[in-house]
Amino acid sequence: MAAPKELTSSTLSVTVHPTNPMTTTISTVSLPESLASNDVLIKVEAAASNPKDWSHLVATGASINSGDDLAGVVLAIGPDVTRFKPGDQVAAFHPMGKPYGAYAEYAIAPEHTTLHIPDTLSFEEASTIPLVSLTAALTLFRRQGFTSPWELDAQEKNQNTPLVVYAATTSLGAYAVKLAKLSGIGPIIAIGGGSCESLRGHLNKPEDVFIDYRTGMEKVKHDIKQLAEERQ
Ligand SMILES: NC(=O)c1ccc[n+]([C@@H]2O[C@H](COP(=O)([O-])OP(=O)(O)OC[C@H]3O[C@@H](n4cnc5c(N)ncnc54)[C@H](OP(=O)(O)O)[C@@H]3O)[C@@H](O)[C@H]2O)c1
C-alpha cells in the first residue's frame, strides 16, 4: 500500500534515556513515506513494558524508543502484507532497536510478529502478549527442542517429559507453564512465589507440583530432589 501520508506523516515518540533515575523525552518523528513490503503501520492504543526496555539501554548507553510490545489498530500495510488490512485490531512485537517503537502514537512492526486479537481482549491485555510469549516459545521449542503445540503429534511426543520452570510466577514463567501444558509436556515442577494463585489453575494435581521459592533455595533443591526420587 502507498505511503500512509494521507493518514499521518509523523508521530509523537518517547525516547528513554539510561540515566539514573531513568528519564524520557517526547519528540515528533517523521514516519517513512512508504512502508517496507512486509511492514504494518499501527495506531498504538496500549504499549507494555519489559525489563529489557531499561536494562539494554543501561548496558549499551543508548537512548531510544525502547518499547517493543504494543496493541492497536492497523492504519496501513506494506505491498506484500496479506494477513492484515486497515482497521484490524492487532498486537505486535516491534523489532528491538529499530525505529518506530511502541512508546509512540504510531508504530511499525513486521507482518510475521503481528497477530489478530479477539474483541474479548482489551488492548492493554493484548499488549502484554507478544515478547513474553515469543520468548517462552523460543525457550521451549527452539532451545529445549520440545515439540510445539501447533504440531499434530505434540501430546504424544512430549508426554512423560518432566519440566522444572524456575520463576514460574513471573510473566515469562507463566507463559512457559501455559505453553508447556498446551504441548503435553509434564509433569511440571513450578517454582514461584506470591503471585501463585493464577498459576495454580494451570497446574494439574497431583502430577504437577508448585514449590515456593520464598522457603529458601536449600528447601527448593531438597523438594525437587525428593520428588525426583519418589517418582523414579
Ligand atoms: N518479559 C519478557 O518478555 C522477557 C523476555 C526475555 C527475558 N525476560 C527475563 O525474564 C525474567 C522475568 O521477567 P518478567 O518480565 O517475566 O518478570 P515479572 O513478570 O516482572 O516478574 C516479577 C516476579 O518475579 C518473581 N521473583 C522475584 N524474585 C524471584 C526469585 N528470586 N526467584 C523466583 N521468582 C522471583 C516475583 O514473583 P512473586 O511475586 O510470585 O514472588 C515477582 O513478582 C527477567 O530476568 C527478564 O529479564 C523477560
Reported as a single tens digit per residue, the pLDDT across 6-15 is 578 999 999 9
Instruction: Report the pLDDT value the prediction gives residue 92, as an integer from 0 to 100.
Output: 98
How far is residue 179's CA from residue 207's CA, in Å, rounded to a whole number?
A: 17
**If you measure from the C-alpha of residue 168 to the centroid of ligand 1, how many angstroms do you get, rounded to a whole number?**
8
How far is residue 149's CA from residue 144's CA, in Å, rounded to a whole number?
A: 14
CB of 167 closer than 6 A to ligand 1? yes
Residue 125 pLDDT level (bands cut at 50, 70, 90): very high
Q: Is residue 18 over pLDDT 90?
A: yes
CB of 54 closer than 6 A to ligand 1? no
CB of 170 closer than 6 A to ligand 1? yes
Structural domains of the chain, with CATH:
4-127 (3.90.180.10), 132-230 (3.40.50.720)
How far is residue 127's CA from residue 121's CA, in Å, rounded to a whole number?
A: 10
Q: Are strands 39-48 and 106-110 parallel, antiparallel or unpaired?
A: antiparallel
Task: Provide mean pLDDT across the span 172-196.
Answer: 95
Average pLDDT, the chain: 94
Candidate from 170, 178, 211, 224 with most ligand 1 atoms within 8 A of CB, to mutate: 170
CB of 131 closer than 6 A to ligand 1? yes
Q: Is residue 2 over pLDDT 60?
A: no
Task: Provide mean pLDDT across the span 167-186.
Answer: 96
DSSP code of residue 209: E
Instruction: Report the pLDDT value the prediction gives residue 5, as an integer from 0 to 100.
Output: 47
How far is residue 41's CA from residue 165's CA, in Å, rounded to a whole number?
A: 36
73-101 confidence digits (pLDDT tens): 999 999 999 999 999 999 999 999 999 99
Candidate from 55, 165, 172 with most ligand 1 atoms within 8 A of CB, to mutate: 172
**If you measure from the C-alpha of residue 167 to the centroid of ligand 1, how many angstroms do you get, rounded to a whole number?**
6
Instruction: Report the pLDDT value the prediction gives residue 6, as an integer from 0 to 100.
Output: 55
Higher pLDDT, 7 or 61: 61
CB of 154 closer than 6 A to ligand 1? no
The residues, any chain, with a CB within 8 Å of residue 194's CB and separated by 6 or more, are: 169, 214
Residue 232 pLDDT level (bands cut at 50, 70, 90): confident
How far is residue 213's CA from residue 199's CA, in Å, rounded to a whole number?
A: 14
Q: Among the listed ranges 1-5, 40-44, 78-82, 146-150, which one has the minimum average pLDDT value?
A: 1-5
CB of 194 closer than 6 A to ligand 1? yes
**If you measure from the C-alpha of residue 55 to the centroid of ligand 1, how many angstroms do you get, rounded to a whole number?**
13
Q: Among the listed ranges 126-140, 143-157, 197-211, which one has the minimum average pLDDT value?
A: 197-211
Instruction: Report the pLDDT value the prediction gives residue 96, as an integer from 0 to 100.
Output: 96
